[in-house]
Structure 1
Amino acid sequence: MAHANTYDNSNASNHSELLGLSNLTLQPYESNLNSKENLEERYQILVLQVNSTNGSQLREYNSCLAAVCYQLGRIYYDTEDDPARAESMFLKAKDTVKDHESEADNILSVINSLNMLGYIKVKNNEDYERALQYLLEAQCVYQEYSELKWGSATSVGQLLPNFPIKRTLLTNKNPLINARLFTLFYIIEVYKHHGNITDALLCTHQTLKIQLENNVFLQSPLDWALSSALIANLLCQQNAYQQARHHLAAASTFMEKIIPKQYVNLFKCVFLLPLSIQNKYII
């Protein structure tokens, strides 16, 4: 792995299943599962247009083709249980816009496709190393996009204006943040599999921060709070008590807002207090 486990992770390892998502969850997406034939027809048309066009319009056609490839890949995976065919579509989505992955018109198609490639490698092939390569590639694409400040990511509805979307998702208010979070959640799964708890905790810290800053919560409230408490545990091991206090307070405050008051003390006693006592840190 890229980073050695420099911390004493024995305590955190006992609770590593609480990092990230409690289950390996398939990333939601906006689509119309009844539109397979329309998408396949659109795919064929776009392939012809890409092969017969030069200049600035070629880039537009490539962006649309990448979006169609991602949508078809999801349909093949979700409804037809054909991971090999889906994988080929996800690969084509990112290869179609090669060298332009981080542009606003392409970033959602590319990161979502890389996320799905990572998911398939873990879920269907148990190939964690290849999965991590795809997910770290998604990280790099997002980093480049952030540095270049391309502007708001172009949605599938903008790229494919005549494409009917039936499902409306809670996460569609910020689809790029949604995609970014799932990249991190899937990376956490790989790190957990390898027993790399330090890097899993660091990625978990990123997910907590991103969710709070953007008011987009993909974890359950309990998972979010427990993850924050485990980050506090790691910080205590490094004598970073002020930062640890911040994470424990965040976990406690967050739970107070979303669960009945009579259960708040139970949560503190069962989950937060043991973490604090084992590090000689009192809530």
Structure 2
Amino acid sequence: MTITKEAYVDLLEKYEKVKKLIEEDSKSDPENEPYLSKYIAKPLLIGMKANIENLLRNRTPETKEYIKLTAMLGVTLLNLGKISVETEEISVGEKYLTKCQEVIEKYETHPEFIITSLRTYNEIGLIWWKREVEKAKVYLEKAETLYKQFKETGLIPVDLHDLFKIDIPGYDEDVGKTNFEKDHTLTLYYLAQIYGALNDSLKSAVYCHITLQRQLESDDYEMIDWALNAATLSQFFMEKNGFKQARHHLAASSYMLEIYEGQLNQITDQNEYEAKIENFKHRSADVARCWAKYGLLLLSNSRERLLKHTEDIDATCSLSPDLAKLELNADSSVSREDLASLEFPTLNVAVHESQVTDQFVLTLDDARKVFLNVKMWLNRAHSYYTLNNLASDYIEIVQDQAQMYLNLSFFEDNPENQAKMHKRRADLLENVLKEVNPTYYMQYCRQMWYELAQSYGEILHIKMDKLKESNGRPTPHTLTKINSLVDKGILHYNNFINSFKDVSTNQIPRTIDKDYQKPLLQAYFHIGALYSRYITLDKQVMLNNVKASLEAYKKVTEYCVHNVDADKLIPTEVSICREMITLLPMKINKLEHEIL
């Protein structure tokens, strides 16, 4: 018996009502009833499910009508599953989705079923993501395989809404194609997260890039979000020494922000403009920070590369700033072709790329060019992130500025210029420390105290080397300067150490957080060394300094006694401390005898 037109019309009307509730009305649901529209849609879907199942009972399998009704049932079950999951009824949702999978399994790659298939496997994959990542990967890879199989057929996918229409002729094929491609893009996005969770970061990055590329091709993206995602992905590439790919993604991000800014300037409504310009400024500052991280890491990695290959670097170093030249393991999940295609050929980003190199830096002139760009990007970020409204971000930017001077100092041959860079680095950090309360920003204060001590230590080394090289008698000013640098180094190391004191006992606990154990031991070690750097003719002052040095070295060995394997964190320094604990008492006895 042929199904009446009224039966189809009834199903179409109900589906359209459900679609409106889910896609439109749910956006206006009250805060105290966030799932109101979805709860209204659910009984409508349950009624549709019952009606379709009744109609199927009298249909001959494999007929055109039977396949159409089966496709409609699959869509209904898919929506019931999605609503249940979204309203936090996970087990109920999983049952509906599993039932949907069973219903459509035989026809997965038919034009009427393919979109439902992709969405069903995506949804089940998301459910398993929170339970068992490997199983989630199986479902998502199934969706990826189905997409490829259907593409090979050359057929046109039918949109879910069109399934409920009475006549197939007249369908808008573009809607089906668009939704089909969007669902696959979503599959790839989920797979990127899955591979990230499975610690296959390179495969994850490749999928992230493909997702961004597909969004461009389909013109389905928000410019600000796309720019931020591209900039974020660049950070992964540069950590793998893929500076070519990192720069390209950052350039694409800046290109997109430039286009968006032009569109903003066309807005005439002041309220709309102010709302959007604030978000634009925020995200532009974030992208500027990503550019700055790029420059800082390029300088840092260039320094490490030069240190490891001091002679004939071109012949001895195989490290490349291009991921396409990365040496892959035999079992790698990505191919060289995957890595060679990490670009956006439709975007004209040459202008943005040309502002900074993507090659390792070799000379001071090259390093200075990168340095000036980093300085510009960090200043741009500081125009948005201020100490008053976003203190944590502000502090991190200052720390990057300090790192900028540290990285440049390596390429500088002139010791006086090196000292000036370290002094600039110290000034930046000290200015921030004057403004922030350690109670609220202790993590940052600890980092800055430690870095300040290191900065003054570097300046001290430069001054001491200059003193050794000079033939004349050191001036009182020079000696005062050196002792002042020792004072500041010890002060900041002590500030760092004292930050770990127990409030009730005013003592350093026997054991502190593992993340801080190594820097704590190093701080004690450096204090011990710094006390020996004081220059004085007063025997009593000498004696006090040697005693203080001995106490610092003892702190290192005492901590290692109470904490198993702590000595493995700084084996060389611990060995020196043990030696000094043996030698310094003899020096103390000698000084005491001389004083007497």
TM range (shorter): 0.7 to 0.9
1:37 corresponds to: 43
Measured on the aligned residues, the alpha-carbon RMSD in Å equals 3.1
Give the counterpart of 1:188 among 183, 186, 192. Answer: 192
Query: In structure 2, do the counterparts of structure 1 residues 251 and 271 end up closer, same or farther at CA, with 3 Å as the change threshold?
Result: same
Q: Is residue 129 from structure 1 mapped to residue 129 from structure 2 by the alignment?
A: no
1:139 corresponds to: 144
Bigger radius of gyration among the two: 2
1:57 corresponds to: 65
List alignment gaps of at least 5 residues for structure 2: 1-21, 25-36, 167-174, 262-276, 303-320, 322-355, 358-596
2:201 corresponds to: 197
Q: Is the 8 A contact 2:112 2:158 kept in 1?
A: yes
Distance 2:163 2:129 in 1: 30
Query: In structure 2, do the counterparts of structure 1 residues 143 and 230 end up closer, same or farther at CA, with 3 Å as the change threshold?
Result: farther
Distance 1:269 1:35 in 2: 45
Q: Deviation at 1:161?
A: 4.5
Query: In structure 2, do the counterparts of structure 1 residues 38 and 268 end up closer, same or farther at CA, with 3 Å as the change threshold?
Result: closer
Q: Is residue 229 from structure 1 mapped to residue 234 from structure 2 by the alignment?
A: yes
Q: Is the 8 A contact 1:76 1:86 kept in 2?
A: yes
Distance 2:177 2:152 in 1: 22
Secondary structure at the aligned position of 2:55 is classed as helix
Q: Deviation at 1:108?
A: 1.6
Query: In structure 2, do the counterparts of structure 1 residues 273 and 49 end up closer, same or farther at CA, with 3 Å as the change threshold?
Result: same
Q: Is the 8 A contact 1:69 1:92 kept in 2?
A: yes
1:104 corresponds to: 111
Q: Is the 8 A contact 2:192 2:207 kept in 1?
A: yes
Distance 1:263 1:273 in 2: 15
1:17 corresponds to: none
Give the counterpart of 1:74 among 66, 69, 82. Answer: 82
Q: Is the 8 A contact 2:125 2:137 kept in 1?
A: yes
Give the counterpart of 1:253 among 252, 255, 271. Answer: 255
Distance 2:283 2:142 in 1: 40
Distance 1:106 1:247 in 2: 36
Q: Deviation at 1:271?
A: 0.2
The count of aligned residue pairs is 240
Q: Is residue 156 from structure 1 mapped to residue 164 from structure 2 by the alignment?
A: no
Q: State the one-letter code of the partner of 2:97.
A: F
Secondary structure at the aligned position of 1:66 is classed as helix
1:273 corresponds to: 292
Distance 2:283 2:45 in 1: 49
More helix by share: 2
Q: Is the 8 A contact 2:109 2:149 kept in 1?
A: yes
Query: In structure 2, do the counterparts of structure 1 residues 246 and 40 end up closer, same or farther at CA, with 3 Å as the change threshold?
Result: same
Distance 1:257 1:228 in 2: 20
Secondary structure at the aligned position of 2:50 is classed as helix
Deviation string, structure 1 residues 49-90 (Cα, Å, up to 9, x no partner): 3343222222111111111110111222223x2211211211
TM-score, with structure 2 as normaliser: 0.37
2:305 corresponds to: none
Q: Is the 8 A contact 2:228 2:283 kept in 1?
A: no
Distance 1:37 1:202 in 2: 42
Query: In structure 2, do the counterparts of structure 1 residues 198 and 232 end up closer, same or farther at CA, with 3 Å as the change threshold?
Result: closer
Deviation string, structure 1 residues 117-158 (Cα, Å, up to 9, x no partner): 1111123xx21111111111110111112121221x322321
Q: State the one-letter code of the partner of 1:93.
A: C
Query: In structure 2, do the counterparts of structure 1 residues 51 and 230 end up closer, same or farther at CA, with 3 Å as the change threshold?
Result: farther
Give the counterpart of 1:118 among 121, 125, 137. Answer: 125
Q: Percentage identity across aligned positions?
A: 19
Higher relative contact order (CA 8 A, sep 6+): 1
Q: Is the 8 A contact 1:70 1:90 kept in 2?
A: yes
Deviation string, structure 1 residues 160-187 (Cα, Å, up to 9, x no partner): 349xxxxxxxx99933233222212221
Distance 1:193 1:234 in 2: 18
Q: State the one-letter code of the partner of 1:156.
A: L
Secondary structure at the aligned position of 1:102 is classed as coil
Q: State the one-letter code of the partner of 1:257.
A: I
Distance 1:262 1:44 in 2: 53
Secondary structure at the aligned position of 1:53 is classed as coil
Q: Is the 8 A contact 2:231 2:287 kept in 1?
A: no
Distance 2:239 2:205 in 1: 8
Q: State the one-letter code of the partner of 1:226.
A: A
Secondary structure at the aligned position of 1:278 is classed as helix
Q: Is the 8 A contact 1:101 1:107 kept in 2?
A: yes
Tell me whether 99-108 or 138-147 shows the greater mean CA deviation. Answer: 99-108
Q: Is the 8 A contact 1:221 1:258 kept in 2?
A: no
Deviation string, structure 1 residues 5-29 (Cα, Å, up to 9, x no partner): xxxxxxxxxxxxxxxxxxxxxxxx7
2:554 corresponds to: none
Q: Is residue 48 from structure 1 mapped to residue 54 from structure 2 by the alignment?
A: yes
TM-score, with structure 1 as normaliser: 0.73
Q: Deviation at 1:106?
A: 1.0
Distance 1:51 1:202 in 2: 47
2:587 corresponds to: none
Superposed, which structure 2 residues align to 1:5-20 within 5 Å?
none
Distance 2:291 2:176 in 1: 33
Superposed, which structure 2 residues align to 1:170-189 within 5 Å?
174-189=178-193
